[in-house]
Amino acid sequence: MANYAKSTTRKDTFSLFLPSLLVLILTLSKPVNSQNCGCPSDFCCSQWGYCGQTDDYCGYGCREGPCQGGGDASGEVNSGGGEDAVSLEGTVTPEFFNSIINQARSDCAGKGFYSHDAFIAAANSYQSFGASISKREIAAFFAHVTHETEFMCYIEEIDGPANAEKYCYNDKTDFPCAEGKAYYGRGPIQLSGNDNYGACGRDLNENLLASPEKVAQDPVLAFKTAFWFWTTNVRQNFNQGFGATIRAVNGKECTGGNSATVAKRIEYYRDYCGKLGVEPEENLSC
């Protein structure tokens, strides 16, 4: 009897302990939804307003809590590189935007295509681009846009149709090339390759594999493809310095591949940092 009573007591204790254990496990393993964050002291508030303890919450864009070089307990949103985030629309003013495109030749097709209004419309539609962005990151984005399009002069890659075959990657089987379609560079960041057109189109709910030419026909869509490429392939490297973004945009230029073009990108970045009133960080080259 004594043994039976002892066994029953252990079971009762375990039954009481089990729910508490499950609650603890779920709390630590799942994000805590919170409209205004207000997370526990050992949790981070992510850039999207949720509580958690992994790099997704405590890393890039962290608002408050034990952030990893990002936000702090004041509630200010920090972007990559530890610099406070800013309003995209308030920073990319018509004056700043036009100071770039006005340097393009007067006969450029881009002057009748790219505009500040199209940029803002695209940003309002693709909000994750500007949700947590710093002045340095804005300068970096436009430095690459400037280089890729020559001050937003070009909508499509020079000699793109003649080089179309090299942008159809048959090994990218998830996004096979459509017959008669070409995937050369288009738009502010010169999106290229059937893999990028396919993935970008999927995420933007546009069938860009079937209609890649739409990027050169719709300026808002063109900017959205640039935002997609940036947030998908470049942003995560920005905290390593501008040089890491060069490698992400066109790694062939790095490590002596084309030092002249690397120097031009850096020149544009320094210029735009100056226009926005911030100092360039270290690690400018790749």
DSSP H or E run through 124: helix 116-125
Q: Exactly one of 137, 148, 253, 281 is catalytic; which is it?
A: 148
Phi and psi, residue 155, nearest 5°: -90, -40
Number of helices (H) and strands (E), helices first, in the chain?
10, 3
Residue 22, exposed/middle/buried by CB under 10 A (0-12, 13-18, 19+)?
A: exposed
Rounded CA separation 192/197 (Å) = 7
Residue 83 known to be catalytic: no
Q: Please state, as a whole number, how many other Cβ atoms lie within 10 Å of the Cβ of residue 3.
A: 7
Side chain identity at residue 119, one-letter code: F
Side chain identity at residue 283, one-letter code: N
Rounded CA separation 2/8 (Å) = 10
Q: Please state, as a whole number, how many other Cβ atoms lie within 10 Å of the Cβ of residue 113.
A: 21
DSSP state of 64: B
| Cα R_g (the chain), whole angstroms | 24
Residue 55, exposed/middle/buried by CB under 10 A (0-12, 13-18, 19+)?
A: exposed
Residues carrying an active site annotation:
148
